[in-house]
Amino acid sequence: MINWSEITGFQWDRANLTKNSDKHGIGCPEAESVFLATDLRVLEDKLHSSSKEMRWHAFGISSHARPLSITFTIRAHLIRIISARPMNARERKSYGYPKN
């Protein structure tokens, strides 16, 4: 489980700084804003986790009022966002979010 009180910020891989924006139109500030959402849901990504590093999925409404899916890990008390994209129809239905 994540101890949110230990998280101190975000860390971005240089390649991911533009990847999410280029592919999905989601910039770093918008992706980060999901973690402040009152409706934030976080699930373990068991398929992509390893004994060395846990991966997680976060679902929430961004500061631009879009339902987003964020894949991330935590390194040295920092959230490291791996990908950010709009939620797909199945995710929106499963977690009770409106259409994008």
Q: Is the separation of the CB atoms in 91 and 69 below 8 Å?
A: yes
Domain membership flag for residue 100? no
Integer Cα distance of 74 and 61 in angstroms = 21
- Supply the pTM of this predicted model: 0.89
Taking all residues of the chain, what is their mean pLDDT, rounded to a whole number? Answer: 91
| Digit-coded pLDDT (tens) for 28-67 | 999 999 999 998 999 999 999 999 999 999 999 999 999 9
Domain membership flag for residue 94? no
Domain membership flag for residue 98? no
Domain membership flag for residue 95? no
Number of domains the chain contains:
1
Q: Which domain holds residue 53?
A: 4-89
Tell the residue number behind the tokens 């924006």, with chain if given. 21
% of the chain at pLDDT higher than 90: 71
Domain membership flag for residue 69? yes
